[in-house]
Amino acid sequence: MSPQLRLRLRRFFGFATRVSPRLAARLALEMFLRPPRRRMDAVDAPVVARATRRSLALGSGRVQAFEWSPQDRVSEEPRPAVLLLHGWGSHAARFGSFVEPMLAAGRRVIAIDAPAHGESTGRRSDLGQFRGALSAALDELAPVQSIVAHSLGAAAAVWLLAEEPHRDVRSLVVVGMPRDIGYMMESFMLILDLREDVCAQVRRQFIRRFGTAPETFSAHALAERLQLPTMVVHDEDDDVAPLEHAHAFATGLGRGRLSITRGLNHSGPLRDAGTIANIVAFIDEHTTE
């Protein structure tokens, strides 16, 4: 978020708070659940253009999926795939730098747009919808042997695989994953500079909508239940999720590996050739043909 946009939003919510703290809280929660539609970066457009597109049904909406396959395949049966899941306010194309290295390693590559992101339908989204989209992709685009997920997408993958281990998935890579939804909500409310009573209203409205506190949606609480090999990639300068979140999560894992990057911030690892190579190598270790 640019400093200019942050200033405008703070002024708007300051005015809304003076009119009605309850209204300000309702508008803040609505904004929290409505992701921005990110434009595709020019470098990713040629990669996405080569993908086979599929539309997956999810409730009353559709989830857009993109698939790339190695050119040298000789079998009619689909090769095991790596599934890529983006974070909040992003889209599948953000993983464009992963496609060629994965194909070169002989892997089929799948990326999806979460609900209300990219080319998928919807205006609002949440962690549960990310999880639902991931589950649908695992079932309909099988076999998927590994998942690489970023930020909120990583939290959704942990939640799904800890509670419903999938028969095909052999490994997981999480990149820049925050501790829980409570932390993300607190960060969001700090950006808007909401008054304390408005923050309390936002939390109450969240609980009424979802039936539980935002901290309940915690990847860290599920770490011990995650039984598959998991690589935790996190930058020491991540300005969205502190490095301590990665340390705490990796410590709780039974089969975890922590890889700390430097100078890449929150999304930079998705573009970094060295990081991508390390992720491909990790997947190779834990994938069977």
- Sequence spans of domains, the chain: 1-32+184-216, 33-180+217-285
Separation CA 60–CA 121 (nearest Å): 9
Separation CA 51–CA 40 (nearest Å): 14
Per-residue model confidence as pLDDT tens digits over 112-132: 999 999 999 999 999 999 999
Look at residue 79 and tell me whether its pLDDT is greater than 90.
Answer: no
Find out whether 11 and 192 touch, Cβ atoms under 8 Å. no
pTM of the model: 0.95
Per-residue model confidence as pLDDT tens digits over 2-54: 889 999 999 999 999 999 999 999 999 999 999 999 999 999 999 999 999 99
Among the listed ranges 1-5, 93-97, 110-114, 217-221, which one has the minimum average pLDDT value? Answer: 1-5
Predicted confidence at residue 287, as pLDDT, reads 78
Per-residue model confidence as pLDDT tens digits over 154-213: 999 999 999 999 989 999 999 999 999 999 999 999 999 999 999 999 999 999 999 999
Q: 164: burial class by Cβ within 10 Å (0-12, 13-18, 19+)?
A: exposed
The average confidence (pLDDT) of the chain is 95
Separation CA 180–CA 220 (nearest Å): 7
Look at residue 76 and tell me whether its pLDDT is greater than 70.
Answer: no
Separation CA 153–CA 202 (nearest Å): 23
Per the structure block, which two tokens stand in for 284? 């190779």
Q: Please tell me the number of Cα atoms within 13 Å of 288 on its side-chain side.
A: 4
Q: Domain 33-180+217-285: which CATH class?
A: alpha beta
Q: For 180, phi and psi rounded to 5 degrees?
A: -165, 175
